[in-house]
Amino acid sequence: MGKKYSWWYLDLINFLLIVLIFFFGGAVISSQIILSDELVYVPNITGKTVEEARTELQKRDLGLTIAGQQFSDEVGRGRIIIQDPAAGSRLKVNRSISVIVSSGQESVVVPELTGKSLEQAISILKQTGLNRGFLTQIHTPQYPAGRIIAQYPPAGAVLERNSAIGFLVSQGEREKTYLMPDLIGRKVERAVPRLQAAGFKVEDIRHVYYPGLEKGVIVRQNPPGGYPIQKRNPINLEVSR
C-alpha cells in the first residue's frame, strides 16, 4: 500500500508542476500581448537630426524609418522635414515613425555673366535661382559702362539655391576733369562759342538788368570760376541786357 500511495503522490506533484508551467507561461505570453497593445504618444521629431530622433523615439519603444529625402530651403541638411504619424498621434509600441529627411538647399551651377549688362545678369540670376550680391564699380576703357568685368563665385561653381553672386561692374572710361574758367566781365558772344567749341554744354543764358554795364556782359556764372567740372556738366550764365 505504501508503495502504491508513493506513486500516486509523485503523479500529483508532476501534475501540479505542469499546471504551474502552463500558468506562468500563459502569464508571460499574456503580458507580452498586453505590452504589444500599449499605446504611446508620438513626439514631435521634425527639425531634429536622425540620431536625435532615434534617441527620442527609443524612450517610447518606437522605431524610425527613413522614407526618403527632399530639398528644403528652411530645414538644414540631415534634419527631419516630415514625420508620419504626426506629433501627438497615439501609436502601439514597437512600431516605427516614417520620416522624410532634408537634403539641404537645391544646388545650382553659376552661369557665365562676364561681359553682360548688369540688367541681363540680374535677370539670368533670377531664372537660375541665385541672387545679386555685393556690387563694386570701377572706371575702365576696356568695358562699356554697365558691363560686368568679373564675378564671384566664378562661372561653373556649384552653390546652394538663393546664394549671392558679387559683381565688378564697369563705369566706362573715366571722364577728364577741367577747371571752370572765370567768365565774369566777359562778352557772352565770345565766351559761349569758345565753350561750345571745346565740348562744354551751355544750358541756360538769362538776361538781367544790371545798372552801369553795357549789354551782353556776363555778370554771374554757375559753376563758379575755378570749380572742377566735366564736359557733361551744364553751365548757366546771367548776362546784362
* Total residues belonging to the chain: 241
Please tell me the predicted confidence (pLDDT) of residue 81: 94
Architecture of the domain spanning 107-170: 2-Layer Sandwich (3.30)
Q: Quick check: 207 and 239 in contact, CB under 8 A? A: yes
Beta-bridge partner residues of 204? 236
Please tell me the predicted confidence (pLDDT) of residue 105: 80
**Domain extents for the chain?**
39-102, 107-170, 178-240
Please tell me the predicted confidence (pLDDT) of residue 107: 85
Secondary structure, 3-state, the chain:
CHHHHHHHHHHHHHHHHHHHHHHHHHHHHHHHHHHHCCEEECCCCCCCEHHHHHHHHHCCCCEEEEEEEECCCCCCCCEEEEEECCCCCEEECCCEEEEEEECCCCEEECCCCCCCEHHHHHHHHHHHCCEEEEEEEECCCCCCCCEEEEEECCCCCEEECCCEEEEEEECCCCCCCEECCCCCCCEHHHHHHHHHHCCCEEEEEEEECCCCCCCCEEEEEECCCCCEECCCCEEEEEEEC
Instruction: State how far the Cα of 230 lies from the Cα of 141, in Å rounded to an integer.
Output: 17
Pick from 80, 76, 45, 79: nearest CA to 62: 45
How close are the terminal C-alpha atoms of the chain, in Å?
A: 161
Written out in words, the top-level CATH class of the domain with range 39-102 is alpha beta
Q: Quick check: 213 and 179 in contact, CB under 8 A? A: no
Q: Quick check: 151 and 168 in contact, CB under 8 A? A: yes
Please tell me the predicted confidence (pLDDT) of residue 195: 94
Please tell me the predicted confidence (pLDDT) of residue 35: 47
List, for residues 41-63, the tens digit of each pLDDT value: 999 999 999 999 999 999 999 99
164-170, strands of its sheet edge to edge = 131-138, 164-170, 148-152
CA distances from 20 to 17, 26, 60, 228 (A): 5, 10, 33, 112
- Burial of 156: CB neighbours in 10 Å, binned 0-12, 13-18, 19+: exposed
Residues of the chain short of pLDDT 50, as ranges, are 1-5, 27-35
Q: Is 0.95 surpassed by the pTM of this model?
A: no
Q: Quick check: 102 and 70 in contact, CB under 8 A? A: yes
CATH of 178-240, one of 3.30.1050.10, 3.30.10.20, 3.40.50.9100, 3.40.50.300: 3.30.10.20
